[in-house]
Each structure stands twice: as C-alpha cells, then as structure tokens.
Amino acid sequence: MTVVYALPGRAVVREVRLAQGATVAEALAASGVTEEFPELVRQRPALGIFSVPVSGEHVLSDGDRVEIYRPLQADPKETRRRRAAHRRARGRPGGSTQS
C-alpha cells in the first residue's frame, strides 16, 4: 500500500506493508504520517483511494493508494460566483465560454 499526503511544494509518499483486511486507518498509523503531521489528527482530513472518498474503516485492497486530502483554500461555488460577477461588471455574459 502507499499513503500519500501532498503539501504545497512537497509530497510525502510512504510505502507500507499490511496484512490482508487492513483498513485505511491502519495504513495511516503504519505510515507515520500522523506523527510527522500531528495536525492531521485534529483536522480529521478527508481520505480517499485513487480519488474516491473513503472512511478510515474502509478495507484496503492490494495496491491501493491512500490519499490524505487538505482542506480547500476556497469554496469552488463561491469562486465561480465571483468570476461571473466580475464578467458581468465588465459587460460580458457569465454563462457561456464560447467566442
């Protein structure tokens, strides 16, 4: 299994060997990522396997890549609203991207 945590400018990748039937939480513990980044314990970040959200109780399959997701810096819906408002203020319609 692989445990991955991406930070701005740095990615932490840890290979772990676990028994069959191990969970995502067990992979995190075995990787040592939570010891290196103790804020992850407080934040309880979203987790996934190959971009599919999972819980800590999810049972892993051989070859899975456990991903630890950082919180979004901006709400995507709010960002789209601001962009559309900016387009309207400049006299361009916000609903279409066609020329």
Residues 56, 92: contact at Cβ < 8 Å? no
Q: What is the CATH number of the domain that holds 32?
A: 3.10.20.30
Q: Is residue 31 part of a domain?
A: yes
* End-to-end Cα distance, the chain: 47
pTM: 0.71
How many domains does the chain fold into?
A: 1
Return the number of other C-beta atoms located less than 10 Å from residue 77's C-beta.
Answer: 8
Residues 64, 31: contact at Cβ < 8 Å? no
- As a dihedral over the C-alpha atoms of residue 1, residue 33, residue 46, residue 41, rounded to 10 degrees, the angle is 140
- pLDDT tens sequence across 10-56: 999 999 999 999 999 999 999 999 999 998 888 889 999 999 999 99
Q: Is residue 91 part of a domain?
A: no
Q: Is residue 27 part of a domain?
A: yes
Range of the domain at 37: 2-68
